[in-house]
């Protein structure tokens, strides 16, 4: 009996240790040029990164370990504060981005030096959550706008993927001062 109890305790300790270890292996993405940071969970891979020749925009793409979700991050460096609604309008209408139809209204949040709007988009093939951020620093030499886009096939969109999206997007922070 004592051996079974000890075995159960050891197994619980191993499971708890594995959970703590996996949480500790989040990867922090810090872009010092485009002034943002966020955390990617363990196992996510960066698939691509491209910067424009003028060094005024960059794009990243990441893929989840199970290949059921991708993230596209676009960042733009600007000489002034951009109207966030104009930014959203231009991206939603950009044919090359192929963003599905928005469902529902935007949610908004103001963090002082930056603000954010997000919405859910859906068509027959994809479920997407898109977060738009912009810095609001009129005295700064540069301001930035960002699109953090989570793309999931409609058949793979679950409450777990929604939780993952909220967890990742919740770590995104513009770092411009």
Q: Which 3 state secondary structure label does DSSP give 10?
A: helix
Question: pLDDT by residue (tens digit) across 116-159?
Answer: 999 999 999 999 999 999 999 999 999 999 999 999 999 999 99
Domain count across the chain: 1
Please report, for the domain that includes residue 43, its CATH number. Answer: 3.40.1000.10
Residue 45's Cβ-side half-sphere holds a number of Cα atoms within 13 Å equal to 7
Q: Does residue 32 belong to any structural domain of this protein?
A: yes
Q: Does residue 114 belong to any structural domain of this protein?
A: yes
| Containing structural domain, residue 153 | 26-174
Q: Does residue 46 belong to any structural domain of this protein?
A: yes
Q: Does residue 11 belong to any structural domain of this protein?
A: no
Contact between 173 and 28 (Cβ < 8 Å): no
Question: pLDDT by residue (tens digit) across 49-94?
Answer: 999 999 999 999 999 999 999 999 999 999 999 999 999 999 999 9
- The reported pLDDT for the residue numbered 3 is 52
Q: Does residue 141 belong to any structural domain of this protein?
A: yes
The tokens for 75 are 């960042």
* Model confidence band, residue 176 (pLDDT cutoffs 50, 70, 90): confident
């Amino acid at each position: 009996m004592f051996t079974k109890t000890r075995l159960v305790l050891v197994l619980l300790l191993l499971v708890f240790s594995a959970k703590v270890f996996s949480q500790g292996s989040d990867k922090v993405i810090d872009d010092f040029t485009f002034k943002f940071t966020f955390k990617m969970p363990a196992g996510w891979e960066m698939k691509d990164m491209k910067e424009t020749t003028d060094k005024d925009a960059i794009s990243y793409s990441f893929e989840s370990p199970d290949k059921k979700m991708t993230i596209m991050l676009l960042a733009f460096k600007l000489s002034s504060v951009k109207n966030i609604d104009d930014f959203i309008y231009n991206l939603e209408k950009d044919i090359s981005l192929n963003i599905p139809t928005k469902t529902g209204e935007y949610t908004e949040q103001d963090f002082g030096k930056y603000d954010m709007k997000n919405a859910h988009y859906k068509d027959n093939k994809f479920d997407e959550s898109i977060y738009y951020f912009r810095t609001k620093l009129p005295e700064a030499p540069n301001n930035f706008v960002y699109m953090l886009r989570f793309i999931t096939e409609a058949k793979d969109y679950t409450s777990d993927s929604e939780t993952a999206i909220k967890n990742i997007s919740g770590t995104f922070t513009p770092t411009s001062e």
